Structure 1
Amino acid sequence: MKYLPIDKNLFIKNRKNFTAKMKPNSLAVFNSNDIYPISADSTMPFEQHRDIFYLSGVDQEESILVLFPNCPKEKHREILFLKETNDHIAVWEGEKLTKEAAFETSGIQTVYWLKDMEKIMFELMTQCDTIYINTNEHYRANVETQTREDRYTKWLKEKYPAHSVAKSNPILQRLRSVKDPIEIELMQKACNITEKGFRRLLNFVKPNVWEYEIEAELMHEFLRNRSKGFAYTPIIASGNNANVLHYVQNNQQCKTGDLILLDVAAEYANYSSDLTRTIPVSGKFSKRQKDVYNAVNRVKKEATKMLLPGTMWADYHVEVGKIMTSELKGLGLLDKADVQNENPDWPAYKKYFMHGTSHHIGLDTHDYGILTEPMLPNMVFTVEPGIYIPDEGFGIRLEDDVVIQEKGEPFNLMQNIPIEVEEIEELMNS
C-alpha cells in the first residue's frame, strides 16, 4: 500500500462499536472483494470492500473477518482468515500479510489460513444462533455482479439453514456515517493531497490544453503524495461539457474564454475527498461568468451554515432550493411567474440545478448514512451547488467537504483550497 500505517486502535474501536449492536449469541462475517477479470489474464486493480477494511484495516484479497462476541472460546471472538503466504507468492505477487503483520494492522490476535476456514466455521456455527450477513443496501447501489460476499452468504445459508439471519448493513450505515477522529485525519490528508493537485493546475491550465492533460497533471501529483489516484472517475469538463453532470470522457481541447468544471479529488488510505472547482481557461472570468460563479459560491456558503446537528437531509435541501431560487432570479434565469407556476415535485430552480446539494463522504465517495435520520456531529458531508446554463455554453459547480461540529458551523476540510474569484485569477496569472 502507498499509504502510511494506520493506528490499529481505529479498527479495534470500530469492532467494539459494531459488536455492541449485535444480538446475543450471534456471529457476523465480512469478506474481501474479488479481483475482477478484464480478459485473458488481465485484471482490474484490487479495491478492498470498505466494510472489512473499516472493521480490520486488512487491505488484501481473499480475506474473511468473523466477529462472535459471545463465543465460549475467547480466542474465537475475533478471527481473521487470510490467504496463506509463501516464498513463491512473495516473488510473483509481493508479500501478503503474515499472521504477525495482520495483528499489527488490525489488533486481531487469532489469525488462520483460509484452508482452515470451513472446519473452524463449523465449530463456531454450532455455538451461535444468529448469523449477520453483509448486504449492500446503500441508497445508490445498483450491483449486477455477484460478489465474493454474495457467494459466501449463499454458501453459509445453504450449509446452515437452521440459523436465524440478521443484517450487518443497518448497523454499519449508522456507525460508518459518524467519523472517528483518526478517520477525519485520514480524510484531511486526502483533501490536502487534492489541494496540491488543484494548485498545480492553476499554473498549468491555459488555452488549447486538453482535458486529459489536466487529468494527467492531477494523477502525477496524487501519486507522488501517497495516494493511489482519484477517489472517483474524474470529471474535467470544459465549455458545454460542464452541462453533462457525469461527463468523464475528458478528451476535448479547452478553448479561450471557456470555463472548466473540475470535479476531481484524491483518495488516501481508501478514504475519499470530493472537490469541485470551476476555473477560466484564459485565467480570467467574464463578467457574466463571474456573476454566476459568485451566485453559486453564495449558495454554497449559506448551505454550509445549515449543516448542523439535528438537521434533516430532506428539509435542508428544501431550504437550499429557496436560496438557489433567489440567486437564479437575480441572474435573470428565473422570474416571478416561473416560481409561482412551478411544480412542487420539480421546483423551477431544478431547470438550472438538478442534483442534490450534499451527500455523506468517507470510505466511499457517496458514503454510508441513513438520510431519514438527523445529522450528527462528526458526520462529513459534501456541499456542492451548481448552476448549469447550456444556452450560454457553461456550467459552474463548487464543492467542499465539511465536518459537522457539536457546536458552531461545520469545519471545512478544504478551507485552504482556493475558491474566491480573485484568488483563482491571481494564482492563474502569477
Structure 2
Amino acid sequence: MTTVTMMLLYSGKQLSPLFIKSAGVKKSLMTVLPLLSSIRGFGQPAAQTHPHLVAEGEVTPGLTKKEFHQRRCSLVRSALETFKGMKSVNDHLFIIPSATTVYMINEIPYPFRQNTDFLYFCGFQEPDSLLLIEAKTSKSVSTGEHESHLFVPRKDAAKELWDGPRSGAAGAMELTGVDTAFNSGEIEKYLQFYNSKHKDFVLWYNHSKPVHTDFHNRIISQLMHDHRHKYLENVSELCQRLRLLKSPAEIQLMQQSAKIASEAFVEVMKFSKPQVNEAHLWAKMDFECRLRGAEFLAYPPVVAGGARANIIHYITNNQVIAGGEMVLMDAGCEFHGYASDITRTWPVSGHFTEPQRKLYNATLRVQEACIRMCTTEFSLDDIYNHMLVLLAAELTQLGIISPDCSYDQRLNLARQFCPHHVSHYLGMDVHDTSSVSRKIKLQPNMVVTVEPGIYIPEDNYKVSLEFRGMGIRIEDNILVTETEPVNLSASCPKRVEDIESIMSNR
C-alpha cells in the first residue's frame, strides 16, 4: 500500500480519485484529462496549448516525461548509494521546493524564474510548488524506483483572472507525469502523516539555503526537528552532481542557446557606432535574442565601453562609447531553461587600432590555447594555472611585464591583469553547479566557459600609455567530449578580421 493510499484511508476523507495511485484509475483519468485541458488551460506552455513549442510527451521543450523520470531515478540511486550497507535505514524522503514570486512593491512582481533543482526534476514552472520523492533502500538502490508527488497552487478563478491560468493538481499530473499531485495546502498534512508512519528515515533537503522561506519556516523546519528521523542530508549537492553532465537533449538546447546568442552578437556589432549608448547595445542584444526564441537574457549583461571594461561586473550600462574606444559585452540568453554565456570585445568604430589589435590578439591566443585544454586530461583549475603562464608570456612579449621579472613575479602580475578564473560550469544556471569543485577532471558531456581577459586601468602608470584604459575578455561555451572539445559558440565572430569585416558591411 502506498503512502498516498494510506494517507487517504488514515484521514477518512473523500478526496478525488486523482490522488489514489491505482493503475486503473490513473489510466481512466489520463483519458479524460486531455479533454479538460483546452477548457482548463495550464500555467505553462504544453503540447495541447503550444504545439509549436512543446511536442507530445514533452514536459518542457525538448525534454520528455521519460527524461524527467530518469533524472529522479538517478537522484534516488545516488542518494541511496551513500547509505549502502546501513541496514537500519530503509526510507528516504526528498523535498525540493519551487521558487516563490518576489515583488518589487505590492502586487508588482519581478519576472519569475523557477528554482533550478526543482525544474530539473519535474519541469513544472509555477511558483509556490513542491516536489516530494519517496524511496526505499530495499527497492530502489539499483533501480531508482520511487514515488513522486507534486504539491501545486490550487485552481482559483479569482486569482487566475489577474495572474493567468494555473495548472492545478490535475494539470500538474498531466503535464509532468508524476505519480500523484495535491494542492499546496496539503503539504503540512502529508508530511505529518509521513513522519507518523516512518521511523529513522533520511530527509534529503537543502536546509542550509532554503529556497522557499514560507514552506521552510512554516512546515519543513518542524519536520527537521522531529525526533523520528536521525539523518538530514543536503539534497542540493546531489542535484548539482547530476546536473553537471548533460544529456543529449540538454546539449541540443545549449547548442541552440549559444547559436541564438551568437547571432544576436553579430547584430549588436553591426548596430555599434561611435557615440552609441551602452543601454542601446543592451536593448539590441535583448531584442535579437528574444526575436530568435529565447525567453530572456540569462543575466544582466555587461556592456562596458572604454575603460569601464576594467570593472569586471559592470552592469550600469548607461554611458556613451566614444569613437576609438572598444566595448566589452558579456551576455547570453536563456532558451527553455538553458543558458549561454559569451563575451566579445570590439571597436565601435569598426576598426581596431594597432595597440588594441596587439592586446586583443594576445588575449585570443591565450583563449584558443585554453579551449584546446578542455579535455578529460585537465581540470578547470589546471586550465586556469596554464592561462596564467600564457598570459605572463604574452604580456612580457608586449612589454607590459618586464622581462627582468622572475617567473613567480610574472605569474603574480598575470593574476593582477586577469583577476578572475578562466572558467566555470555552464548549464541551467550561468554559474552552474557552483558546489562542484573546479579541481576535478573534466568529463564528457560537461559544458564549461573559457574566458581569459586582460584589464589595464587608466591609472596603471607602469604600463605604456598606448595600452592604458583597455579591458578585453573573450569567452566561449565549450562542450567536453571523449575526443576534441566542441565550441558551441563558434559562430560568434572573434578574429579581428571577421569582426572588422562584419562591421564594414553595416
Check whether TM > 0.5. Answer: yes
Q: Confirm or deny that 1:366 pairs with 2:431.
A: yes
Shift of residue 212, structure 1, vs aligned partner: 0.2
The correspondence of residues 4-403 of structure 1 with structure 2, limited to 5 A, is 4=54, 5-6=60-61, 7-8=63-64, 9-23=66-80, 24-70=90-136, 77-125=147-195, 126-127=197-198, 129-135=201-207, 147-148=213-214, 150-151=216-217, 152-159=219-226, 162-340=229-407, 342=409, 347-368=412-433, 369-391=436-458, 392-403=468-479
Q: Is the 8 A contact 1:136 1:169 kept in 2?
A: no
Q: Which fold has the larger relative contact order, with Cα–Cα distance below 8 Å and residues 6 or more apart in sequence? A: 1
Mark the CA change 1:35 to 1:194 in structure 2 (over 3 Å): closer, same or farther: same
Separation of aligned partners in 1, 2:215 and 2:174: 25
Separation of aligned partners in 1, 2:380 and 2:494: 25
Q: Is the 8 A contact 1:48 1:61 kept in 2?
A: yes
Q: Which residue of 2 aligns with 1:410?
A: 485
Shift of residue 308, structure 1, vs aligned partner: 1.0
Shift of residue 146, structure 1, vs aligned partner: 7.5
Separation of aligned partners in 2, 1:295 and 1:360: 24
Separation of aligned partners in 2, 1:318 and 1:73: 46
Q: Deviations over 1:96-117 (max 9, x none)?
A: 2244442343221311111222
Separation of aligned partners in 2, 1:160 and 1:206: 66
SS of residue paired to 1:337: coil
Q: Is the 8 A contact 2:273 2:349 kept in 1?
A: yes
Q: Is the 8 A contact 2:76 2:146 kept in 1?
A: no
Mark the CA change 1:341 to 1:307 in structure 2 (over 3 Å): closer, same or farther: closer
Shift of residue 207, structure 1, vs aligned partner: 0.7
* One-letter amino acid of the structure 1 residue matched with residue 490 of structure 2: Q
Identity %: 29
Mark the CA change 1:135 to 1:347 in structure 2 (over 3 Å): closer, same or farther: farther
Separation of aligned partners in 2, 1:240 and 1:35: 38
Q: Which residue of 1 aligns with 2:5?
A: none
Separation of aligned partners in 2, 1:340 and 1:104: 63
Mark the CA change 1:158 to 1:176 in structure 2 (over 3 Å): closer, same or farther: same
> Which 10-residue stretch deviates more, 172-181 or 114-123?
114-123
Structure 2: give runs of 5+ residues left out of the alignment.
Answer: 1-43, 46-52, 55-59, 81-89, 459-467
Q: Deviations over 1:140-192 (max 9, x none)?
A: xxx9x974564354232135664421121221221111111111111112112
RMSD: 2.4
Q: Which residue of 2 aligns with 1:419?
A: 494
Q: Is the 8 A contact 2:118 2:131 kept in 1?
A: yes
Mark the CA change 1:229 to 1:286 in structure 2 (over 3 Å): closer, same or farther: same
Separation of aligned partners in 1, 2:222 and 2:329: 44
Q: Deviations over 1:40-90 (max 9, x none)?
A: 332222111100001110111011101112299999711111111133333
Q: Deviations over 1:241-289 (max 9, x none)?
A: 0001011100100110000000011111221110000011100001110
Shift of residue 20, structure 1, vs aligned partner: 0.7
Aligned residues: 421
Separation of aligned partners in 2, 1:255 and 1:170: 46
Separation of aligned partners in 2, 1:206 and 1:150: 51
| Larger of the two Rg values belongs to structure | 2
Q: Deviations over 1:206-235 (max 9, x none)?
A: 011100011111111222233232111110
Q: Is the 8 A contact 2:328 2:345 kept in 1?
A: yes
Separation of aligned partners in 1, 2:426 and 2:295: 18
SS of residue paired to 1:338: coil
Structure 1: give runs of 5+ residues left out of the alignment.
Answer: 138-142
TM-score (norm 1): 0.91
TM-score (norm 2): 0.78
